[in-house]
C-alpha cells in the first residue's frame, strides 16, 4: 500500500506538468519519500509516470520499490514488455565498472584530511566501513550524518555534503565507458543495474552522464542480486548480458538465470583484482581487462559465450 507522500497524481500527464523536468521530479520524490526496509528500486526511465499504487492494479502486489510511489516505463514500453520478451537486455554496473570508484574514494580521503584533518578522515572512514558491513553498499551521506551526530556543532560538515553532491563524477568515467553503453544500445535494450542509497547513487549516475547514455533506464537496489525477479519483470528478455566488476554478483546471477545470462567481468577496481575473491568464485563467461575492451567485441561473441 502506498500512502503518505506529498505528490499525488491523477494522471502521469498532470504529474509531469507540475515539475519542470525529470531531474526535478526525481529530486522532489527523494525529498518527500522514505524507504522503509526491503528492496528499494529507483528507476529513472525516459518517460516518468507517478502511479498511485492504491488505485492502479499493476501496483497491487506487495511493494519492493518506493513504498509510496513507483517509477515505471512509458505505457508503450510496458505494453511491449507484456506482449513478449526482448531478444537481449544488457545490464551494466556502475562503480568500478563504468566509474573508477577507487579514485573517487581517494579524492574524498584527501579532501577530508585537507579540510578537517586526519583524525576526522579516519573516523568518517570507520563509520563508512561499518555502514558498508551493515548495508552491503557504501552510504557516503549516511556516514556523514552519523559523523554529524558525534559532532553536532561542527558547521564545516555542510561543506562536506556539498563536496559529495557536487563531485565531478564525469571526470572519473573509465575510458570508453559511455562509448560501450552506446554500442550495447545499438544491439539491444541497455539498463544500468546498481546498488546504493536513494540519494547519492542516483546523483552519481545522473551527473556522470551514465543515465543520459541509456535514456534514463536505471535501476538501483539495495542488493541487486536479490532483485533479479524484479529486474526480469521490468525488462523481460530471452537472454541477458550482465557486466559487473564483482565475481560474487556475477556468480549469484548465473545461479538464478543459468544459461540465459552471459556474465562479463571487467577486471577493474580492488575487488576485481583481489586474489582471494578470484579464487572464491567461478570465472565469468567473458573477462576483459578494461571496460573499453568491449568495443572490440561483437554481439555474437557475447551471445555465444
Note the pLDDT tens digit of each residue in 74-104: 333 443 544 489 999 999 999 999 999 889 9
Residue found under cell 498532470: 14
Interstrand relation of 42-43 and 70-72 (parallel, antiparallel or unpaired): unpaired
Q: Where are the alpha helices (DSSP H) in the chain?
A: 12-17, 22-32, 75-83, 101-116, 118-135, 140-150, 157-165, 177-187, 200-207, 210-213, 228-234, 247-257, 269-272, 275-280, 299-304
Give the torsion sign (CA, 77, 81, 84, 89). positive
Domain-wise residue ranges, the chain:
12-74, 85-99+174-304, 101-170
Question: Picking from 3-17, 35-49, 105-119, 215-229, which range would have the lowest pLDDT averaged per residue?
Answer: 3-17
pLDDT of 14-66, one tens digit each? Answer: 333 333 444 443 443 343 333 333 444 554 444 332 223 333 333 333 333 33
For residue 177 the three cell numbers come to: 565507458
Per cent of the chain over pLDDT 90 is 54
Kindly report the CATH number that applies to the domain delimited by 101-170. Answer: 1.10.286.50
Please report the pLDDT score of residue 34 as a whole number: 34
Enumerate residues 6+ apart whose C-beta is below 8 A from 100. Answer: 172, 173, 174, 268, 269
Residue 125 makes CB contacts below 8 A (sequence gap 6+) with: 109, 112
Buried b (16+ CB within 10 A) or exposed e, 33-62: bebeeeebbbbbbeebbbbbbeeeeebeee
pTM of the entire predicted model: 0.73
Residue 10: the pLDDT is 31
> Which CATH number does the domain 85-99+174-304 belong to among 3.20.20.370, 3.40.250.10, 1.20.1560.10, 3.40.50.1000?
3.40.50.1000
Q: What is the pLDDT of residue 21?
A: 42
pLDDT confidence of residue 89: 97
The pLDDT, as a whole number, for residue 25 is 37
Alpha-helical runs (H) found in 244-298: 247-257, 269-272, 275-280
The residue that leads in pLDDT, 192 or 159, is 192
Per-residue pLDDT, 36: 32
Predicted local distance difference test score (pLDDT) of residue 116 = 87
Residue 59 DSSP class: G
How high is the mean pLDDT of the chain? 77
Q: Is 20 exposed, middle or buried (0-12, 13-18, 19+ CB in 10 A)?
A: exposed
Give the whole-angstrom CA distance, residue 174 versus residue 290.
8
The whole-angstrom separation of Cα 135 and Cα 196 is: 9
Helix axes of 101-116 and 118-135: crossing angle, nearest 10 degrees: 140
pLDDT of 8 above 50: no
**Does the pLDDT of residue 257 top 90, yes or no?**
yes
Asked if residues 245 and 97 have their Cβ atoms less than 8 Å apart, the reply is yes
Q: Output the pLDDT for position 41.
A: 54
Flag whether pLDDT at 264 surpasses 90.
Answer: yes
Of 125 and 40, which is predicted with more confidence? 125
Amino acid at each position: 500500500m502506498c500512502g503518505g507522500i506529498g505528490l499525488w497524481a491523477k494522471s502521469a500527464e498532470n504529474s509531469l506538468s507540475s515539475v519542470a523536468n525529470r531531474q526535478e521530479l526525481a529530486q522532489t520524490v527523494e525529498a518527500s519519500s522514505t524507504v522503509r526496509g526491503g528492496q528499494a528500486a529507483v528507476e529513472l526511465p525516459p518517460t516518468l509516470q507517478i502511479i498511485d499504487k492504491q488505485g492502479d492494479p499493476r501496483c497491487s502486489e506487495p511493494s519492493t520499490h518506493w513504498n509510496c510511489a513507483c517509477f515505471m516505463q512509458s505505457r508503450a514500453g510496458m505494453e511491449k514488455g507484456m506482449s513478449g520478451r526482448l531478444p537481449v537486455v544488457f545490464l551494466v554496473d556502475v562503480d568500478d565498472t563504468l566509474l573508477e570508484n577507487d579514485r573517487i574514494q581517494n579524492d574524498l580521503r584527501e579532501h577530508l584530511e585537507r579540510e578537517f584533518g586526519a583524525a576526522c578522515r579516519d573516523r568518517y572512514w570507520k563509520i563508512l566501513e561499518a555502514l558498508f558491513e551493515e548495508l552491503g553498499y557504501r552510504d557516503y551521506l549516511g556516514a556523514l550524518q552519523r559523523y554529524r551526530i558525534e559532532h553536532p556543532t561542527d558547521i564545516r560538515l555542510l561543506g562536506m555534503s556539498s563536496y559529495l553532491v557536487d563531485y565531478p563524477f564525469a571526470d572519473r568515467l573509465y575510458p570508453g565507458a559511455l562509448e560501450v553503453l552506446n554500442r550495447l544500445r545499438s544491439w539491444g535494450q541497455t539498463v544500468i543495474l546498481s546498488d546504493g542509497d536513494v540519494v547519492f547513487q542516483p546523483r552519481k549516475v545522473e551527473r556522470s552522464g551514465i543515465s543520459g547514455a541509456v535514456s534514463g533506464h536505471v535501476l538501483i537496489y539495495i542488493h541487486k542480486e536479490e532483485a533479479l525477479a524484479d529486474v526480469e519483470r521490468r525488462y523481460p528478455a530471452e537472454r541477458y548480458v550482465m557486466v559487473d566488476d564483482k565475481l560474487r554478483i556475477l556468480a549469484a546471477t548465473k545461479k538464478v538465470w543459468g544459461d540465459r545470462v552471459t556474465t562479463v567481468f571487467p577486471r577493474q577496481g580492488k575487488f576485481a583484482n583481489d586474489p582471494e575473491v578470484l579464487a572464491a568464485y567461478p570465472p565469468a563467461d567473458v573477462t576483459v581487462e578494461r571496460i573499453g575492451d568491449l568495443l572490440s567485441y561483437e554481439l555474437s561473441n557475447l551471445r555465444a559465450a
